[in-house]
Amino acid sequence: MILPAIILVVAVAMLLQFLVFYCRLLVAAGRRVELSESVRKVTGIEGQTVSGEDFPRLRRLVELCPQTDGDGYRLGAIRAYHAFLRVLETLFGMVAPPAAAWATSERSGCAYYAAVTLDARIAQTRRILESDSLTLS
């Protein structure tokens, strides 16, 4: 009975580790993308910094736009990662301030990734509207 429990714990730990690595990769890739001026104006983002507290608002804005290239599962992974980071930040806030600062920085990256996804979805929607208007003319 104890062996299946150990296997389950190890499997869950490995899955969590994979999720963290995958999401850190997505966040790092998102930070290299420059946001368009229209998205900056709509979201109120200035520069490369976004507060991690803006993530829920940005995610809701993203959900208003149609999905592009199956980015929904990536945003779902980032959402889970953001929640995981919030738990880490709460748990280690008083005990390990550097860990809490890292979690805060990563949560900011999650919010910026959501803004990048919003930018991509808006751009795709504009392209579709432009192509439709050209075919109707």
Runs of H (alpha helix) within 2-136: 2-31, 37-43, 55-63, 72-92, 97-136
CB-based contact 57:112 (threshold 8 Å): no
Instruction: Tally Cβ neighbours within 10 Å of residue 65.
Output: 16
CB-based contact 99:88 (threshold 8 Å): yes
47-80 pLDDT tens trace: 777 888 999 999 999 998 888 777 888 999 999 9
118-127 pLDDT tens trace: 999 998 888 8
| DSSP β-bridge partners for residue 49 | 46
11-30 pLDDT tens trace: 999 999 999 999 999 999 99
Q: How many domains would you assign to the chain? A: 1
Domain residues for the domain of 128 are 2-136
Token pair of 22, please?
């995958």
* Closest alpha carbon to 35 in 19, 46, 20: 46
